[in-house]
Amino acid sequence: MSLGAMRGVFWIIVAAIGTVLASAPAVAHPHVWVTIRSQLLFSSDGAVVGVRHAWTFDDMFSAFATQGLPQQTKGQFTREELASLAEVNVTSLKEYAYFTFARADGKNALFSDPKDYWLDYRDAMLTLNFTLPLKQPVKAREFALEVYDETYFVAFEMAPKDPVALGTGAPPACRSTVRAPQELTVEQSRRLSELDAATPNIDDKLDDSFANRIIVICP
């Protein structure tokens, strides 16, 4: 093959790859909406030991998720009838690190597998209850908890009322504040629109400024 031909082939390949990358699926719109209520769990000596989540799914997704599940009474599901679904839920959530990220005084704190999980069905909406224990109990002046899906397939929002509570054992001086997602800056909007949901590349993902953030300060 002549040099010119090789150059031609090279550009063809570049063009093809460029086309594919340029039209790589950007981030999807949310298909699931979740309203968050969370409780921070403390040990008797005042260390944070985990978080207890109650996530309520939107009615459309709840209908989808409960499709075909056996039920005694139409329009109702008991905790037992939903047990297998809850199992699937927490199992598949592992892949997404439970969408929950914690930092104690700026240092990442890791969670182990969830326990005490179940689903409730009320007003045609599912609520997933589960406890995420911290691998190591931690005492921190500032404990920050974030809940978000960086691929924006699941949209999380804080419950309008009492989104966060401090469990028994919390030092009396501890105060919690919540921060709703920040308004997207123009730069973030641009990045969101260019986000390649398919590439599991951390650098490619949005930062957490649109996360729901719970901050507990224990002076």
Partner 1 sequence: MITRSRRIVLLIGVVALASAAVGVAQGQPFGMTRPPVAADGGFTQWLLIKQAEFYRALSGAVRAAKADGSAAWGLMSLSFLYGMFHAAGPGHGKAVISSYLVANNETWRRGVVLSFASALLQAVVAVAIVAVAAVLLGATAATMGRAVRWIEIASYGLIALIGMRLVWVKSGAFVRALRRTASREERNHGALHDGGHRHCSGHSHSGDCSSGHHHHSHHHDGGACDHASAWGHAHGPEPMELAGRGGWRRGLAAIVAVGLRPCSGAIIVLVFALAQGIFLIGVGATLAMGVGTALTVTLIATLAVAARGMAGRLAGARPGIGMIALRGLETAAALALLLFGLLLLVGYLASERLPGVF
> Is there binding between residue 165 and partner 1 (CB under 8 A)?
no
- Cα separations in angstroms, 210 against 48, 155, 179, 185: 24, 10, 9, 10
188 CA to centre of own chain: 19
Choose the stretch contacting partner 1; rule: CB under 8 A; options: 11-19, 102-110, 129-137, 163-171.
Answer: 11-19
Could you give the 3-state DSSP secondary structure of residue 177? strand
Contact with partner 1 (CB under 8 A) among 13, 83, 97, 165: 13
DSSP 110-152: -B---EEEEEEEETTEEEEEEEEEEEEEE--SEEEEEE--TT-
Q: How far apart are alpha carbons 47 and 206 in whole angstroms?
A: 31
Give the shortest CB-211-to-partner 1 separation in angstroms: 12
Provide the token pair at 176. 């919690």
> Is there binding between residue 72 and partner 1 (CB under 8 A)?
no
Contact with partner 1 (CB under 8 A) among 64, 105, 136, 177: 64
Q: How many residues bind partner 1 (CB under 8 A)?
A: 60
Contact with partner 1 (CB under 8 A) among 60, 97, 110, 165: 60
> Is there binding between residue 155 and partner 1 (CB under 8 A)?
yes
Do the bridges between strand 212-217 and strand 175-179 make them parallel or antiparallel, or are there none, so unpaired?
antiparallel
> Is there binding between residue 181 and partner 1 (CB under 8 A)?
yes
Residues at the interface with partner 1 (CB under 8 A) = 2, 4-5, 8, 11-13, 15-17, 19-20, 23-33, 58-61, 63-69, 85, 88-89, 92-93, 95-96, 153-157, 181, 183-186, 189-190, 192-194, 197-199, 210
